[in-house]
Structure 1
């Protein structure tokens, strides 16, 4: 079986205005069903790692494969399709559209799949049920607590049943109780066809994942799942 994520000798450099080696010789294999925290101090390369894993940026050297698909061989349109079909994103800022109901916000997660509106809304109802917000589907973001808004954002990320869920500091704007609830929800998403990767500086969040990968100066300095 192909790994959910496979990075081989990945480096990412930014040449100007000041040269920065954001990632250096990263090789990482994440199996399907794992929950993984990628952590480290500010400037360690976490954000760049998120962008590489999400195929939002291409590495300067090395290769990235998602579900066995080598992203380096894909056109821009094919990369967009890969993200739309295989990757769900959760961010610290919820990025919910204030003028839309929670149901319609979640349904936007399927806009780029060419699915009819009725089917999008049906899938959105199912996703909201999974995150415990079915009764809030008609509310607008401003009527929800921070924790509920993040749950709605997670529903939007998983509405298309992606194989990889990438969460960037998902508890950063939440109180400790809401944060723990969101992390438990993310952990519960992992399974036979879904892998969860959380980018975080919070040691408590990192400790709650089954595997922890630590970055420093763009390099992996510790990996609790290393073989």
Structure 2
């Protein structure tokens, strides 16, 4: 049986007045180790809110969130920061690279808050850049790279900490279709190393490349291919 790394039970999220909005309404979701999952749905369906709660960036209004079996719903902010630093990696549509730093230093900087010694940070960063196919760009500055290369650096930064779960928010949104397909294949391939990949996307091709699709509508899961063959 696949070990569950993310578990949501009865999770809801309501944003208060003056404009009360229920973004999530009774979400039950279990994601196992090594899965690749696309979260889809129209704008306003609750995708970004769900990803933020999975990543402990937001707290649910109700329900339980477990990461690797541990209930994180009642953890303090410093404890949640530790969970993000040790168990989770994040990739966004915007690359958020430091233009004046080298590719290697951009990735290594992501390990600062893990307490990793400087030499080990650079070694891990180099390994991650090799994994994403950028070993020959280590000394380049971020501003010298193409959009696809910049997203690969962002992915390397996320996986350098060896997270159990990689969460990606529209990771191909700023890329052309060919480059987007390369990044999608890279993300899907990360699961071969037991990293769980969860991404949100509006792109049907990106969603189809993931082994599982979870479709949201009005804050509820209306389709989940997890049980399909």
Q: What is the TM-score with the length of structure 1 in the denominator?
A: 0.97
3-state SS of 2:25 partner = strand
3-state SS of 2:78 partner = helix
Residue 62 in 1 paired to residue 95 in 2? no
Q: Name the stretch that deviates more: 199-208 or 35-44.
A: 199-208
Q: Does the CA contact (< 8 Å) of 1:2 and 1:68 recur in 2? A: no
Question: 2 CA distance for matches of 1:2 and 1:153?
Answer: 27
Q: Does the CA contact (< 8 Å) of 1:12 and 1:21 recur in 2? A: yes
Q: Deviation per CA, 1:63-83: give whole Å up to 9, x if none.
A: 111111211132211110110
Q: Does the CA contact (< 8 Å) of 1:32 and 1:191 recur in 2? A: no
Q: Does the CA contact (< 8 Å) of 2:37 and 2:210 recur in 1? A: yes
Distance change in 2, residues 1:223/1:202 (3 Å): same
- Shift of residue 193, structure 1, vs aligned partner: 3.1
**Superposition pairs for residues 127-146 of structure 1, below 5 Å?**
127-146=128-147
* Residue 116 of structure 1: aligned partner: 117
Question: Gaps spanning 5+ residues in structure 2: where?
Answer: none
* Residue 31 of structure 1: aligned partner: 32
- Shift of residue 2, structure 1, vs aligned partner: 4.1
**Superposition pairs for residues 162-173 of structure 1, below 5 Å?**
162-173=163-174
Which aligned runs of 4 or more in structure 1 are off by greater than 6 angstroms?
none
3-state SS of 2:111 partner = helix
Q: Does the CA contact (< 8 Å) of 2:129 and 2:156 recur in 1? A: yes
* Residue 97 of structure 1: aligned partner: 98
Question: 2 CA distance for matches of 1:204 and 1:19?
Answer: 34
3-state SS of 2:152 partner = helix
- Shift of residue 192, structure 1, vs aligned partner: 5.6
Q: Deviation per CA, 1:169-192: give whole Å up to 9, x if none.
A: 000000011000000000010136
Q: Does the CA contact (< 8 Å) of 2:100 and 2:143 recur in 1? A: no
* Residue 176 of structure 1: aligned partner: 177
3-state SS of 2:64 partner = strand
Question: 1 CA distance for matches of 2:24 and 2:184?
Answer: 26
3-state SS of 1:112 partner = helix
Question: 2 CA distance for matches of 1:12 and 1:73?
Answer: 15
Question: 1 CA distance for matches of 2:53 and 2:171?
Answer: 18
Q: Deviation per CA, 1:97-134: give whole Å up to 9, x if none.
A: 11111100001221111111111011000000000001
Question: 2 CA distance for matches of 1:11 and 1:157?
Answer: 27
* Residue 158 of structure 1: aligned partner: 159
* Residue 6 of structure 1: aligned partner: 7
- Shift of residue 16, structure 1, vs aligned partner: 2.2
Question: Gaps spanning 5+ residues in structure 1: where?
Answer: none
Question: 2 CA distance for matches of 1:193 and 1:146?
Answer: 27
Question: 1 CA distance for matches of 2:73 and 2:199?
Answer: 23
